[in-house]
Amino acid sequence: MAGIVLEIGSSVTKFDIGDEIYGNIQDFNAEENLKQLGTLAELIVVEESLIARKPKNLSFEEAASLPLAVQTAIEGFKTAGFKEGQSIFVVGGAGGVGTLVVQLAKHLYGASYVVATTSTPKVEFVKKLGADKVVDYTKTRYEDINEKYDFVYDTIGDSKNSFLVAKDDAPIVDITWPLTNPRAVYSSLTVSGENLEKLRPYLEGGKLKAVIDPTGPYNFGDVIEAFRYLETGRARGKVVISPFPSQHLPSSIPSESKNNVTSEMDLKKIYAS
């Protein structure tokens, strides 16, 4: 989610009313039961440890598309112990996580060779994200690929087949459950506002970009339509739902209006954990 701080609890130290923030409010590693599940609301309560200040160059929709996907993507590299100079094969390069895996591999983790799969209409799109080579899975089978890679990052749960392009000792990370290959390692995510803060220079510097499916953002009144589209598996990047009346939002609120936020911008509340 992404939004504007309207209220703060007495123990909050990192944020003030009027701050533009974003994050994933669902900490699946929490010792206790989840306190929040879902963000389809104009007002929500979040824990300050899970959020970060929104990068200045991103719209609220762009920012909201990132936390879950980018933290999932990063966790996969950590799980694999990926090293600079290694090659990577990304299964599902045009998806919500895959688009970020390709960018991270190329621009942050220093991969020597980035290859990703996608369907015919999205080949050029994935190339523009930074892939050195794109494999059209509608035309090429894993069995037909001669090269072997240092790391196979499977974002769609096809590790029962994609393992064929991995070197003998290469890690295979799968972000879906249950795993379809005993050789694959499951990777989830660690939710942290601090992790998002570390990405700020890459986002504001343009090395890492949010990718929103061109059919959206969807309005609150079109939530069912958005989920139906998501279930087709044809999404390019992330599907975003926004309560704002316009798809083209300013990246920030003028300072003189921060203390008088209109109802259209009244998105989120923050309280201390």
Averaged pLDDT in 10-residue chunks for the chain of 273 residues: 94 95 85 73 89 96 95 96 98 96 96 97 96 97 97 96 96 94 91 93 94 91 93 91 60 38 36 33
pLDDT at 35: 65
pTM of the model: 0.84
Distance (Å, rounded) from C-alpha 42 to C-alpha 19? 16
Q: Closest Cα to residue 261, out of 19, 1, 12, 15? A: 19
Measured distance CA(82)–CA(232) in Å, rounded: 32
Neighbours of 78 (CB within 10 A): 12
Closest CA to 154 of 73, 234, 210, 223: 73
Amino acid at 267: L
Per-residue pLDDT at 221: 87
